[in-house]
Chains A and B, each alone.
Chain A
Amino acid sequence: MSPISRGFRGRGRIPAGEAGRLPPGQYLTGGFPVLSAGPTPHTPLADWTFSITRSGATEGSWTWPEFQALPAENVTVDIHCVTRWSKFDTGWRGVSVDTLLDRVEHDGRYMMAFCDGGYTTNLPLDDVTGGKAWVAFDYDGQALAAEHGGPARLLVPHLYFWKSAKWVRGLDLRDRDEPGFWETYGYHMYGDPWREQRYAGD
Chain B
Amino acid sequence: MEPLDGNSIGGLLIDVFGAEMTGASGTCGTCGATGPVAGLVVYRQAPGTVARCRVCGAILMVFVKVRGMTCVDLTGMARLDQPGAA
Which A residues fall within an 8 A CB radius of B? 33-39, 82-83, 147, 162, 182, 185-187, 199-202
Contacts and interface: CB of A to CB of B under 8 A. Distances in A.
Contact of A37 (B43, B67, B71): B43
Contacts of B1: 34, 36, 147
Interface of B: 1, 3, 43, 45-48, 50, 52, 57, 59, 62, 64, 66-67, 71, 73
A47 B73 CA distance: 33
B43 A38 contact: yes
Contacts of B59: 37-38
A202 to B, nearest CB: 8
Contact of B45 (A35, A162, A187): A35
B43 A185 contact: no
A147 B1 CA distance: 8
A37 B57 contact: no
Contacts of A39: 3, 57
A185 B48 contact: yes
Contacts of B47: 35, 82-83, 162, 182, 187
